[in-house]
Amino acid sequence: MDRVRIHYLDWLKVLIVYGILLFHVSLVFSMVPWLVSNHQRSLALSAFAAFCFPWGIPAMFLISGADAWFGLRSHSPAEFVGSRVRRLLLPMIAGLIVLSPFQRFVVSHNPPPPWSEMPAFYLSFYRSFHFVPDLQWVATYWLHLWFLGYLFGISLVSLPLLLWLRHESGRRFASALVGLTARRGGIFALVLPLVASQLALRPFFPEYQGWADVATYTFVFLAGAVLFSDRRFEVAIRRDISWIVGVGVIGLAGVAAVYAQAHTEFFQVSHLPAWAQAVFAVCWALDIWCWLLAVLYLGIRWLDFPNRVMDYLQRSILPFYVLHHPVVITIASFVVTWNLGLWPKFGLLLVASYAISLALYEYGVRRWAVTRAMFGLKTRPKVAAPHPVLRATGPSG
């Protein structure tokens, strides 16, 4: 069973990562200011972004944990670390050199300043670079590529546990968790460590990408490895889906109610009464866990089959993630200045961002050895020349 390919995992990788672009386009038109914001805002797109925000990035860590689990079945720990360096740190270095100053340049004004000013802006960006002992330092300089840095760190820290899960004692632990989920509603017992971490950390580290979020990302990364280590977990997810969605709605409503009652900005809950902080922490954890399980259910129920298009798209995941963000904010910085309605702007931005991001992958990354290395892709295998076919020839041969 460990060697059977789980096709819905391939689908979910693509849908989640490609869905991040839709989320970022929605932020351009949301009520909360973003890197680039349209003057006219949409309540519907704001609600969509608010719904996806708690569990969207954790979903990427979840599938990354599953990938790590399967990667270790055919790679040594040293090879695993080497692949993390190649697939995560190299794109981060390339992103810092090329993409980060470009993105800061683009968002410095709408529309962007004259392109002739870009070289001076790059030099200014590099000169201002300095280390700050704070988690938000990564996002300050790498913007959306903070995810790669966090994933690299969490992968290394979690490696001993991943290796243990592959041993007999780890497999017994996973089987014990399967037994726990055999009863209806038992799948919710698995979220208790996340609830505990949020109760302990969220009041003190309420900021985005702070230590409470690191605990969340680490938990769901390991949860991805555990859930995909034994396919019997799928039985519990399918059986309890109505409960999962119901509790997810309650968690979402609880988070929204705390913010509405407190009239506070997102994540600024540290000044609330202790009971409100506790309610928020529990609802936040349930919101994340339940919608992650709901996403897995969609894959288990409807997407467990191979597809040639998915084979192509899943190889594009990392370059697409790296490239889509600068594409979105660059196009958005022009689109928001146009004299168009909100929804035509949204549609144009969405279609153009997907098309250009894919074109950059196909013609700017996939076909060239240097760019493949920069974006963490393996070297394309050389196709052996076909052997000549010897044919018997007649008199006229």
The DSSP-derived string for 245-299 is HHHHHHHHHHHHHHHHHHT--TT--TTS-HHHHHHHHHHHHHHHHHHHHHHHHHH
Residue range 224-249: mean pLDDT, rounded: 97
- Between CA 349 and CA 29 the distance in angstroms is 11
Q: Which amino acid is at 294?
A: A
How high is the pLDDT of residue 2?
Answer: 52
Which positions ≥6 away from 280 have C-beta within 8 Å? 202, 254, 255, 258, 269, 272
pLDDT in tens, 171-225: 999 999 999 999 999 999 999 999 999 999 988 888 899 999 999 999 999 999 9
Structure tokens at 88: 């995560």
219 inside domain = yes
Over residues 55-70, the pLDDT tens digits come to 999 999 999 999 999 9
Lowest mean pLDDT segment, chosen from 24-38, 189-203, 376-390? 376-390
* CA-based nearest residue to 203, from 281, 287, 90, 140: 281
Beta-carbon contacts of residue 380 (< 8 Å; ≥ 6 apart): 369, 372
**Is there a contact between 200 and 282 (Cβ–Cβ < 8 Å)?**
no
Count each helix (H run) and each strand (E run) in the chain, helices first.
18, 0
- Contact (Cβ atoms closer than 8 angstroms) between residue 221 and residue 274: no
Average confidence score pLDDT of the chain: 91
Domains: count for the chain: 1
Contact 220, 154 (CB under 8 A): no
Question: Long-range contacts made by residues 272-281, C-beta under 8 angstroms, separation at least 24?
Answer: 274/203, 277/202, 277/203, 278/199, 279/254, 280/202, 280/254, 280/255, 281/195, 281/198, 281/199, 281/202, 281/203
Is the residue at 397 inside a domain?
no
Closest to 16 (Cα-Cα) out of 58, 51, 67, 71: 58
In a domain, 385, yes or no: no
The mean pLDDT of 308-330, rounded to a whole number, is: 94
DSSP line for 122-191:
HHHHHHH----SSTHHHHHHHGGGHHHHHHHHHHHHHHHHHHHHHSHHHHHHHHHHHHHTTSTTGGGGGG
- The tens digit of pLDDT for each residue in 262-312 reads 655 555 666 778 888 899 999 999 999 999 999 999 999 999 999 889 889
Q: What's the mean pLDDT in 90-96?
A: 94
Q: Mean pLDDT throughout 77-87?
A: 94
Q: What's the token pair of residue 49?
A: 């972004």
- Is there a cis peptide before residue 111, judged by omega within 30 degrees of 0? yes
pLDDT at residue 3, rounded to an integer:
62
Give the integer Cα–Cα distance in Å for 159 and 323: 28
The answer to whether residue 384 sits within a structural domain is no
Question: At which residue do the structure tokens 């683009």 appear?
Answer: 106
Q: Is 88 domain-assigned? A: yes
Specify if 163 maps to a domain. Answer: yes
Residue given tokens 């958005």 in the structure block: 332
> Rounded to an integer, what distance in angstroms lies between the CA atom of residue 147 and that of residue 149?
5
Ramachandran area for residue 33 (φ above 0: left; ψ -120 to 50: alpha; else beta) = beta
Comparison of pLDDT for 74 and 80, the residue scoring more? 80
Asked whether residue 55 is domain-assigned, the answer is yes
**Residues 6 or more apart from 41 whose CB is under 8 A from it?**
29, 30, 31, 342
**Do residues 40 and 342 touch, judged by C-beta distance below 8 A?**
yes
Q: Which residue has the higher pLDDT, 16 or 385?
A: 16
Domain range holding 177? 7-374
Take residue 201 and report the two structure tokens written for it.
């950390």
C-alpha torsion sign, points 173, 54, 153, 372: positive
Which residues, 6 or more positions from 304, have their beta carbon under 8 angstroms from its beta carbon?
A: 6, 7, 8
Residue 76 has pLDDT above 80, yes or no: yes
DSSP state of 337: T
What string of DSSP letters covers 20-42? HHHHHHHHHTSSS--SS--SS--
Span 327-348, average pLDDT: 97
Say what the pLDDT of residue 261 is: 73
Q: Looking at the domain assignment, is residue 379 inside a domain?
A: no
